[in-house]
Amino acid sequence: MGDDPLGRARELLGAAERAVVLTGAGVSAESGVPTFRGSGGLWKRFRPEDLATPEAFARDPRLVWEWYEWRRGLIRGCAPNPAHRAIASWMARGPGVTLVTQNVDDLHERAGREAGPDLDAAPRLLKLHGSIVHARCTRCAHRSRLDEAVDATSEATLPRCPACRSPLRPDVVWFGETLPETVLGAAFEAAARCDVCLVVGTTGAVYPAAAVAHEARSSGAPLIVVDPGPTEYDAVADTRVNAPAGAVLPLIL
């Protein structure tokens, strides 16, 4: 690794024709959204098996909805930060960028609405772990945006499918569930074709999402990691920028 990581990152990204950006919770940290594994991370305060598994939802759907409603309210009060905006305006200007995110918040989409590129739908934004601002039916194919607050005071007040009256659930991927196949396939395809992969704010601990960057690397693309903490990619990164994303992405994109 050279001693001018910012310069090297700028050079690699400036020359890119097809790039993949893989983001994790760290890209939203400066917006005020908690990460999962750091100090103050959600998984330090809560047990995923109580809140983020199909079994937890079957056991206590009220508690699970309450937790997602709390997170949704928190995200609603946050705004995109300079990292989201730098990515969105780079995508609006430039090369063929596929943005792959593990985040269920909608801050990339909101930055896209400000900067120009429509990130509300694939193929430019691939949301591997779903969306906290959407719900889907536990039985049929219905999916909708959650515009109203969910009333989680009792099981009887939880939202139901307008089509078949079955319970709705948050449209996110829980532990033990498979990722949406077409979204994951598109992410791997973009990774196999890209000439650089920028990894922002993820420990790289959760698979198969983490494998998207490894796929890019094994197809010959250099990895640039932007993260102020250690990640699973550090040993294989071409360039590591040891700083918060909001401070650095506007300088390198």
Alpha-carbon 160 to chain mean position: 26
Q: Which is nearer to ligand OAD, 167 or 228 (CB)?
A: 228
**Least Å distance between CB 250 and ligand OAD?**
12
Both tokens assigned to 207: 């698979």
Q: Which is nearer to ligand OAD, 43 or 193 (CB)?
A: 43
- Active site positions, annotated: 129
Residues that bind ligand OAD (CB under 6 A): 24-26, 29-30, 35-38, 41, 102, 129, 173, 200-203, 205-206, 226-229, 231, 244-245
Q: What secondary structure does DSSP assign to 175-195, as a single string?
A: TTSPPPHHHHHHHHHHHHH-S
**Spatial CA neighbour of 125 closest among 161, 106, 107, 101:** 101
With CA atoms as reference, report the closest residue to 29 among 39, 21, 20.
Answer: 39
Q: Which is nearer to ligand OAD, 129 or 240 (CB)?
A: 129
CB of 114 to ligand OAD, least distance (A): 20
State the minimum distance, in angstroms, from the CB of residue 55 to ligand OAD: 15
CB of 66 to ligand OAD, least distance (A): 17
Beta bridge partners of 216: none
Q: In terms of CB distance, is 96 or 180 closer to ligand OAD?
A: 180
What residues have CB less than 8 Å from 26, skipping those under 6 apart?
35, 200, 201, 202, 227, 228, 229, 244, 245
Regarding beta strands 196-200 and 223-226, do their DSSP bridges make them parallel or antiparallel, or are they unpaired? parallel
- Residue with the shortest CB distance to ligand OAD: 26
